[in-house]
């Protein structure tokens, strides 16, 4: 009996011990959670489930911005540290043999001196930003909206032509005109490309092979340097420009020739600039061999979508031909998009504006009416060239570094916008113009270096437009050197927040409106008013204001003589009534 009583006491004690925590936990739980436990009994508090789910979603939404910001901050620090360490490892002898303080000094020294090739741009395998964003359904919807807008433009053009002509007009006179004389364009490109393959490479090989054994190295280098400069100025500089002007190529054909001219000049300079220091270093170190790149490496660089030469680039294992076809199809679609923008938004607006008397109100309305086509053209140039065209060639060449641009649309300063809009050109200007300028003149002249880069960029842009349009009208040059410089120093990287992004977009919209308005007015003024009616001595630039005044004077003369010469100097595509 005593044993039985002891067993019963132990059992009751263990039962109390095992039940007490559960009972206490149950007591501590809210009534709503205890009611949810009754789901096993056949019913569930649905209201409680929905409320609890909404609470969890709200908490997650509150935590998400802070979490993403924290992840982005740590990831950026990690990548920057990794890049800095990799640059240090590439630029030094075995780092493990030196203490950490020496490594830090070497890194600081590398940052403060002229960068040889291995200290320059680091190429890594990465996708283009839009390719990643288009995987998000929300961003892909914006792309679909632009396609829908193209369909609206097409329907509008077809319906208006059907109402005016009584039939569907499917001609593309504008595209046929602007891309005319294509055989001349192809021959000019082939000559430019062949010369760039043969002459710079052979000049470098002959200089490198004879430099170490030459007794007059300065004269030897000066001779080959002058030959290369002569080729850059006369061969690639004057030749394509003469072809574009002498053969009276239409605007788009001129754009192809002149842009290829600029690209090949920059490529040839990069090849020489990256390889000459390596030869000088090998001769200084008295090494037995002089590194000379293979012709295949140079040829790959001429086709690769980068302006910075390297012997080797990160490569993808395969070529996605479906991706290539899609990108070229998108380029073709962008061309037709631009065609319908000009046909529906530009030509009707500017066709008769040059026949009107100049007034400030008309100019202001013209600028604001040109903002929409200007912004659309800006988006098309970015998407068609910087994304589709460069990605298509990168895919065919298995070129893995696809960072041709960054998130320029998020810029809160023009300094950041200039760095992220066109990374390919920015890298060339940064390493070969800005950094070399600082190396020659010292770090005290950072502002002068920046101004020189702006001037060079503005001059090249204005040169391209002047040759392609057939007249010198420095609107873009003034916007670059005046407003661009001012905005670069005032809207700098210290400006943060959505307000400054709105300011950046507003000024960008206005700038596009000014460019489209003034260049279109000048183009049509020249078509309507022959320049021989204006004295070249009085008006050397023959710009828009003088063209408007001359046009008005000529029209008054026609009215007095009772004659009508309207449209006598127009190309057929300008009379699309």
The number of beta carbons lying within 10 Å of the beta carbon of residue 100 is: 8
Question: Cα separation of 20 and 197, whole Å?
Answer: 88
Structure-block tokens of residue 306: 């980068």
Q: Which residues pair with 399 in a beta bridge?
A: 315
Strand partners, 126: 401
- Alpha carbons within 13 angstroms on the beta-carbon side of residue 117 total 18
What is the DSSP secondary-structure string of 15-64? Answer: HHHHHHHHHHHHHHS-HHHHHHGGGGGT---HHHHHHHHHHHHHHHHHHH
Query: At which residue do the structure tokens 């090249």 appear?
Result: 460
SS3 (DSSP) at 197:
helix
State how far the Cα of 303 lies from the Cα of 321, in Å rounded to an integer: 17
The Cα 434–Cα 451 span in angstroms is: 9
Both tokens of 456, joined, read 């060079």
Which residue reads 């000459």 in tokens? 276
C-beta pairs of 573-576 under 8 Å, 24+ apart in sequence: 573/173, 573/174, 573/177, 574/347, 574/351, 574/524, 574/527, 576/173, 576/174, 576/343, 576/347, 576/351
Closest CA to 83 of 33, 121, 57, 128: 121
Query: How many Å apart are CA 484 and CA 488, to the nearest integer?
Result: 6
Cα dihedral 260, 262, 267, 269, rounded to 10, equals 150
Does the CA dihedral 110-111-112-116 come out positive or negative?
A: positive
Q: Would you give the distance in Å from CA 410 to the centre of its chain?
A: 14
CA atoms within 13 A on the CB side of 542: 18
Select which of 74, 220, 461, 565 is catalytic. 461
Q: Outline where DSSP puts E strands in 230-277.
A: none
CA–CA gap between residue 558 and residue 565 (Å, rounded): 7
User: Distance between CA atoms of 550 and 490, rounded to whole angstroms?
Assistant: 40
Coil vs helix vs strand at 370: coil
Q: Which of 308, 243, 237 is nearest to 270 (CA)?
A: 308
Axis-axis angle for helices 371-381, 498-528 (nearest 10): 100
Residue 504 has a CB neighbour count (10 Å cut-off) of 22
Listed residue (506, 509, 520, 464) closest to 374, CA to CA: 509
Does residue 461 carry a catalytic annotation?
yes
CA nearest to 459, candidates 447, 449, 451, 470: 451
Torsion of CA 412, 417, 420, 423, to 10 degrees: -170
Instruction: Tell me which residues are annotated as active site.
Output: 461
């Amino acid at each position: 009996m005593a044993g039985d009583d002891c067993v019963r006491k132990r059992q009751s004690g263990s039962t109390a011990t095992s039940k007490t925590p559960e009972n206490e936990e149950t007591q501590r739980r809210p009534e709503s959670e205890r009611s949810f436990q009754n789901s096993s009994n056949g019913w569930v508090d649905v209201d409680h489930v929905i409320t609890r789910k909404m609470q969890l979603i709200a908490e997650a939404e509150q935590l998400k911005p802070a979490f993403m910001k924290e992840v982005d901050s740590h990831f950026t620090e990690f990548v920057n540290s990794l890049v800095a360490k990799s640059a240090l490892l590439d630029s030094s002898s075995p780092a493990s043999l030196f203490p950490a303080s020496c490594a830090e000094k070497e890194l600081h020294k590398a940052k403060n001196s002229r960068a040889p090739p291995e200290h320059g741009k680091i190429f890594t395998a990465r996708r283009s930003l839009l390719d990643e964003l288009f995987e998000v359904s929300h961003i892909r919807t914006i792309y679909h909206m632009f396609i829908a807008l193209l369909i609206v433009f097409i329907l509008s053009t077809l319906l208006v032509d059907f109402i005016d002509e009584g039939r569907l007009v499917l001609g593309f006179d504008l595209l046929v005109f602007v891309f005319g004389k294509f055989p001349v364009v192809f021959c000019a490109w082939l000559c430019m490309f062949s010369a760039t393959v043969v002459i710079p490479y052979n000049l470098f090989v002959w200089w490198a092979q004879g430099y170490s054994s030459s007794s007059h190295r300065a004269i030897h280098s000066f001779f080959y340097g002058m030959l290369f400069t002569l080729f850059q100025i006369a061969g690639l500089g004057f030749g394509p420009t003469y072809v574009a002007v002498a053969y009276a190529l239409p605007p788009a054909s001129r754009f192809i020739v002149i842009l290829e001219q600029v690209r090949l000049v920059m490529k040839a300079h990069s090849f020489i600039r990256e390889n000459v220091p390596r030869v000088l270093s090998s001769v200084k170190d008295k090494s037995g061999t002089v590194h000379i790149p293979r012709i295949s490496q140079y040829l790959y660089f001429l086709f690769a979508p980068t302006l910075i030469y390297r012997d080797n680039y990160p490569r993808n294992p395969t070529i996605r031909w479906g991706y290539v076809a899609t990108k070229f199809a998108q380029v073709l679609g962008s061309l037709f998009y631009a065609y319908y923008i000009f046909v529906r938004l530009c030509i009707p607006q500017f066709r008769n504006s040059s026949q009107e008397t100049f007034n400030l109100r008309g100019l202001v309305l013209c600028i604001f009416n040109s903002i929409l086509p200007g912004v659309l053209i800006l988006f098309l140039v970015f998407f068609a060239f910087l994304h589709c065209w460069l990605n298509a060639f990168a895919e065919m060449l298995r070129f893995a570094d696809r960072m041709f641009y960054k998130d320029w649309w998020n810029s809160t300063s023009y300094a950041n916008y200039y760095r992220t809009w066109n990374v390919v050109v920015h890298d060339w200007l940064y390493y070969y113009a800005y950094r070399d300028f600082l190396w020659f003149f010292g770090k005290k002249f950072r502002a002068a270096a920046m101004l020189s880069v702006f001037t060079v960029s503005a001059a090249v842009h204005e040169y391209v437009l002047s040759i392609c349009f057939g007249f010198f009208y420095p609107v873009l040059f003034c916007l670059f050197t005046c407003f661009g410089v001012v905005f670069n120093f005032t809207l700098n990287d210290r400006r943060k927040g959505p307000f400054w992004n709105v300011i950046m977009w507003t000024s960008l919209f206005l700038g596009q409106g000014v460019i489209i308005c003034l260049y279109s007015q000048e183009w049509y003024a020249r078509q309507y008013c022959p320049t021989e009616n204006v004295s070249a001595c009085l008006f050397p630039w023959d710009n828009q204001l003088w063209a408007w005044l001359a046009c008005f004077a000529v029209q008054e003369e026609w009215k007095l003589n009772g004659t009508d010469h309207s449209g006598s100097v127009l190309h057929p595509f300008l009379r699309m009534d």
